[in-house]
Amino acid sequence: MLSDYRRIFSPAGSLLFSTAGFVSRLPQSMIGVGIVTMLSQLGSEYWLAGSVSAAQTLAAAAIGPQISRLVDRHGQRRIVLPATAVTVAAICALLLCARYATPDWTLYVAAAAAGCMPSMGALVRSRWSEIHRESPRLLHTAYSLESVLDEVVYVLGPILAITLSTRGSAEAGPLTAAILLAVGVLLFAAQRRTEPPVRPEPQRAGGWALRIPGLGLLVLTVTSVGASFGSVEVVTVAFTDAHHDKALSGLLLGAYAFGSGLAGAVFGAIRPRGAITRRLLVSVWAMAVTVAPLLFTPGLAALAGMLFVAGMAIAPILITTMGLVGRLTPASRLTESITWIVSGLSVGVALGYATSGWVVDTAGASAGYQVSCAAALLAASTVSLALPRLTRAEAQ
């Protein structure tokens, strides 16, 4: 089974674009929690920090599918370079606004402009789809690898952002995210021979990919999933702050993502059995069950173990969801379809940031985990109710 991980890198250039894609995705896990940490370090309340972070995430969710449609029409390189330039400039503007205490609305405007960040996960998966189109088994392994790398990103990103902003300058976390984004996208765009060709078919078909049967239900599901682990990020930062060790929150969130990455590596190395829709159902209910103990966290040491266990359900959900998207969606519209999943996830994260930030300010840090549990239960309920429709759509 592990040999499949080696085989997916046999085509020339595959290792280079995957590595560049990893670097360019790292800022996605840094910018949200980095904004929260930066603003809280500069004296802002958590509701403001959470809502500014949510503004960036919501903007990215709205703009992302449009950028991906442009990518399908004009090619990856022509679109991601200007989109990244706008994002980096907006992040720099946000840092200046935060440092010089400009009016709150300027923070929201800069954060929204930073939402032009391209969906690099969708672009990387599009390249894998082009390379391994004739080998479903290797394509499954490539998707699994990218989901694991996404989780590695969420191990390293929060640690980098929080540590830089708490041990050094408050702006260091978001600034580093902007630098990594610029470098990663430049390296990715330089890999021309693995760039998928432009196909006009999606534009002639008309309409958004979101109208594909079953895709909307998956977007609703991952929105709830995103709200769950988005709230975990904010609440964990607040929880460690309440225990007078905010810098430790990066390591705790790393344990959460490490649990997910470990589970994803195992999941990608084995051949899953049973209907893919059933596997999704089991995964979301596993998340609902494992996140519940966070409500009863006695201290930081116990929280590390609880977050590790809770994180083990995340990667299987995302791997299974991406696999199901591949079955529901025509190859010519895969980039946009994956971006809708990413956007739904981002909306959920934004809602988790804002809602949990408000709960923390109102009822205390520990109460914020109620948002995580409620969102996980909503995701499981959504899949349970939608299972017949997803099964029919997958069979078509």
**Contacts of 257 by beta carbon, 8 Å cutoff, 6+ apart:** 29, 151, 152, 153, 154, 155, 158, 311, 314
In a domain, 22, yes or no: yes
Question: Is the pLDDT confidence value at 366 over 70?
Answer: yes
- Give tens-digit pLDDT for 165-183: 888 888 899 999 999 999 9
**How many other CB atoms are there within 10 angstroms of residue 204's CB atom?**
8
- Give tens-digit pLDDT for 199-235: 766 444 556 777 788 888 999 999 999 999 889 988 8
In a domain, 204, yes or no: no
- Choice among 50-54, 373-377, 390-394 with the minimum mean pLDDT: 390-394
In a domain, 7, yes or no: no
Backbone angles phi, psi at 273, to 5 degrees: -115, 160
Task: Say what percent of the chain tops pLDDT 90.
Answer: 30
pTM of the model: 0.79
**How far is the C-alpha of 230 from the C-alpha of 227, rounded, in Å?**
5
In a domain, 316, yes or no: yes
Rg (CA), the chain: 20
What the block records as the tokens of 254 is 């790393």
**How far is the C-alpha of 13 from the C-alpha of 131, rounded, in Å?**
10
Q: Within the chain, how many helices (H) and strands (E) appear?
A: 16, 0
In a domain, 32, yes or no: yes
Question: Is the pLDDT confidence value at 2 over 70?
Answer: no
Backbone angles phi, psi at 243, to 5 degrees: -95, 15
**How far is the C-alpha of 11 from the C-alpha of 13, rounded, in Å?**
6
Please give the tally of structural domains in the chain: 1
How many angstroms from the chain centroid is the CA of residue 277? 21
DSSP single-letter state for residue 293 = G
- Give tens-digit pLDDT for 238-275: 888 887 777 788 788 878 878 888 888 787 777 767 78
In a domain, 2, yes or no: no
Find the domain containing 182 and state its range.
Answer: 13-194+209-395
**How far is the C-alpha of 260 from the C-alpha of 349, rounded, in Å?**
16
Which comes out higher in pLDDT, residue 158 or 303? 303
> How does 16-44 read in b/e, with b if 16+ C-beta sit within 10 Å?
bbbebbbbbbbbbbbbbbbbbbbbbbeeb
Contact 266, 317 (CB under 8 A): no
**How far is the C-alpha of 93 from the C-alpha of 107, rounded, in Å?**
9
Domain with 37 in it: what CATH number?
1.20.1250.20
**Contacts of 395 by beta carbon, 8 Å cutoff, 6+ apart:** none
**How many other CB atoms are there within 10 angstroms of residue 391's CB atom?**
14
Which comes out higher in pLDDT, residue 251 or 25? 25
pLDDT on residue 187: 95
Among residues 151, 36, 183, 160, the alpha carbon closest in space to that of 98 is found at 36
In a domain, 258, yes or no: yes
**How far is the C-alpha of 268 from the C-alpha of 1, rounded, in Å?**
9
pLDDT on residue 268: 73
**How many other CB atoms are there within 10 angstroms of residue 190's CB atom?**
11
**How many other CB atoms are there within 10 angstroms of residue 193's CB atom?**
9
pLDDT on residue 91: 95
In a domain, 310, yes or no: yes
Among residues 212, 209, 228, the alpha carbon closest in space to that of 317 is found at 228
